[in-house]
Structure formats: structure tokens, C-alpha cells
């Protein structure tokens, strides 16, 4: 029995699509006098736990912000460390095999190292038939960059201006064919989007909290979903 789109006193409405800005790894490490890289390692663990949990409770889509188009500004050593974590994750045979999670990477993957691109291809191909959670991992993702790519493609396809519609734009984004995020969670005490899902978030519910991403637990996700469940979404109506 599906909980989507219904609300009884005893039911709660699950967001169909949750998006998470996985922020606060660096501060988590600093608090423990550890190098920032340790925060990213801990954050990657939390990511796996939360993705598995979303799959378990029947969330349909989870989109996580792992690396932004602006994160290249960081020291080369930190960027390299994050790329190596991505490599490790992709090489880890245990990942989400046998868990029925379908993985897709969103973002401009072109500047990534060739071996990472190949691992991504294998990961996506290997999980293509999964019917459980659809997990989008945003790497070198920027909402503005995504729109620039979409506009370039629309122009190169020779689309006349009168045929440019909201749907056409949505269909040219990395998230083409997916529902917009219902619920965007940002831990770490920052109150901004940092270029995440700019177009898709038009009517998303947001939730901010002070917890640092490596400390985020399934129990916190449950609390967030309870909060979402009580929101009154109007989409401009009454
Ligand atoms: C999020 O944690 C991970 C990435 C952006 C790659 P941060 O590294 O931004 O952690 P803080 O914000 O410095 O604590
Ligand atoms: C957003 O976090 C990007 C990711 C979590 C991948 P940042 O740490 O890069 O965002 P700002 O710089 O604080 O806005
Ligand atoms: Mg940050």
C-alpha cells in the first residue's frame, strides 16, 4: 500500500523525491582536530547509510550533492582526496549491488578523470535494471551550469523559440524524466542552495538543520520526513 500522495491521521506523506546537500564534512573534522579529508571519509559513510535507508523505507528518488562546479576552487589536495573517495566508492563491489538501487550520476562529468568516467559508466550500467531507489549522485554539478548545457543543446537542436517550454527545458536537464525534488535537506547550519537544483527546486520544501553531515542519521531523516509530512504545499493555489 503506497503512502504517496495520501494523508490520513495515522499516515504520513513520504516525499517521492528527496534531495540532500551533504554539507559540513570539513567542520566535522575540524571539531575533532582531524584533517578535512577525514570528514569526507565520514561523510561518504553517512551517504551510504542514508541511501540504503531511503531504499528501505520506499523513497523513490534520492539526489545527493557530492561535488559542485564551484568545489574545484578548493586546494588541489582536497579535491584529489574527494576524487579518490569517489573512486573507492565506485570500485567497492559491495556498493549497492543486490540492493536494487539504480544509480545515476548527474552533472558535467567531462572534466573527470577517464578511469572515474569508466567506473561511473559501469556503475550505472550495472544497476540499470534495478527497480528500487533511484539514486542520483551530483558530481561537478551546478544548477546554472546545467541550465547553460540545456540551452546549448536546445539551440543546437534547432528548436524555434515558440517551441521552448518549461517541459522542454526540464527534458534537457540532467534530471530529465524524473519528478522535481519534493524535499531538500541541508544540514550544517548553512541557509543557502549553493547552486543545487535551481530549476527543479521551484516548489521544493526545504529543511535546514545544524547537524554536520557525517553526524546525520536515519533517525534524523525520519524527523525531517515527519516535518515534511506536516507541511502544507500549495503550489501557488489556495
Ligand atoms: C561537504 O562538506 C562536502 C563537499 C562540499 C565536497 P564541506 O567540505 O563543504 O564541509 P564544510 O562546509 O567545510 O564544513
Ligand atoms: C555545497 O556545499 C556543495 C556540496 C555539498 C557538494 P559547499 O560547502 O560547497 O557550499 P558553500 O560554499 O558553503 O556555499
Ligand atoms: Mg561546505
Does a structural domain hold residue 79? Answer: yes
Task: Answer yes or no: is 150 within a domain.
Answer: yes
The number of beta carbons lying within 10 Å of the beta carbon of residue 187 is 23
Q: Is 27 exposed, middle or buried (0-12, 13-18, 19+ CB in 10 A)?
A: middle
Q: Which residues of 150-168 are buried (b: 16+ CB within 10 A; e: fewer)?
A: beeebeeeeeeeeeeeeee
4: in domain: no
Q: Is residue 117 part of a domain?
A: yes
Which residues are catalytic, by number?
23, 71
The percentage of the chain sitting over the pLDDT mark of 90, rounded to a whole number, equals 92
Taking the CA of 42 as reference, the closest ligand is 1
CB–CB of 217/185 below 8 Å? no
> What's the rounded Cα separation, in Å, for the pair 46 and 235?
32
**What residue's CA is closest to ligand 2, atom 9?**
71
Concatenated DSSP letters of 175-215: TTTSPPPSEEEE-TT--S-TTSSTTTTTT-EEEE-S--GGG
pLDDT, one tens digit for every residue, the chain (238 residues): 445 555 555 578 999 999 999 999 999 999 999 999 999 999 999 999 999 999 999 999 999 999 999 999 999 999 999 999 999 999 997 778 789 999 999 999 999 999 999 999 999 999 999 999 999 999 999 999 999 999 999 999 999 999 999 999 999 999 999 999 999 999 999 999 999 999 999 999 999 999 999 999 999 999 999 999 999 999 999 9
Q: How confident is the model over 137-147, as pLDDT tens digits?
A: 999 999 999 99
Which CATH number covers residue 114? 3.40.1180.10
Could you tell me if the CB of 22 is within 6 A of ligand 2? yes
Q: Is 56 helix (H, G, I), strand (E, B) or coil?
A: helix
Residue 237 within a domain: no
According to the model, what pLDDT value does residue 5 have?
A: 52
Query: Cell numbers of 117, please?
Result: 568516467
- Residue-level pLDDT at 39: 98
141 found inside a domain: yes
* Within a domain: 31: yes
Q: Which domain holds residue 126?
A: 17-228
Q: 65 - beta bridge partners?
A: 21, 138
Between CA 95 and CA 3 the distance in angstroms is 28
- For the chain, the domain total comes to 1
Instruction: For ligand 3, an ion, list residues with CB under 5 A.
Output: 23
- Confirm or reject: Cβ of 193 under 6 Å from ligand 2: no
Residue 62 lies in a domain: yes
Amino acid at each position: 500500500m503506497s503512502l504517496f500522495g495520501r494523508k490520513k491521521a495515522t499516515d504520513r506523506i513520504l516525499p517521492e523525491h528527496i534531495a540532500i546537500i551533504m554539507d559540513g564534512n570539513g567542520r566535522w573534522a575540524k571539531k575533532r582536530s582531524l584533517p578535512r579529508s577525514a570528514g569526507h571519509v565520514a561523510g561518504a559513510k553517512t551517504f551510504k547509510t542514508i541511501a540504503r535507508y531511503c531504499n528501505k523505507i520506499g523513497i523513490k528518488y534520492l539526489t545527493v550533492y557530492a561535488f559542485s562546479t564551484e568545489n574545484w576552487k578548493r586546494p588541489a589536495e582536497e579535491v584529489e582526496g574527494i576524487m579518490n573517495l569517489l573512486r573507492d566508492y565506485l570500485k567497492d563491489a559491495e556498493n549497492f549491488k543486490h540492493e536494487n538501487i539504480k544509480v545515476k550520476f548527474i552533472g558535467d562529468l567531462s572534466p573527470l578523470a577517464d578511469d572515474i568516467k569508466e567506473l561511473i559508466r559501469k556503475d550505472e550500467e550495472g544497476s540499470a535494471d534495478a527497480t528500487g531507489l533511484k539514486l542520483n549522485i551530483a558530481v561537478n554539478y551546478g544548477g546554472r551550469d546545467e541550465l547553460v548545457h540545456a540551452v546549448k543543446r536546445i539551440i543546437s537542436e534547432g528548436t524555434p523559440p515558440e517551441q521552448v517550454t518549461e517541459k522542454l527545458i526540464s527534458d534537457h536537464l540532467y534530471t530529465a524524466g524524473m519528478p522535481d525534488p519534493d524535499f531538500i535537506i541541508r544540514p550544517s547550519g548553512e541557509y543557502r542552495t549553493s547552486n543545487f537544483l535551481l530549476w527543479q527546486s521551484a516548489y521544493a520544501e526545504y529543511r535546514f538543520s545544524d547537524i554536520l553531515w557525517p553526524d546525520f542519521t536515519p533517525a534524523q531523516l525520519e524527523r525531517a520526513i515527519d516535518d515534511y509530512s506536516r507541511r502544507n504545499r500549495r503550489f501557488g493555489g489556495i
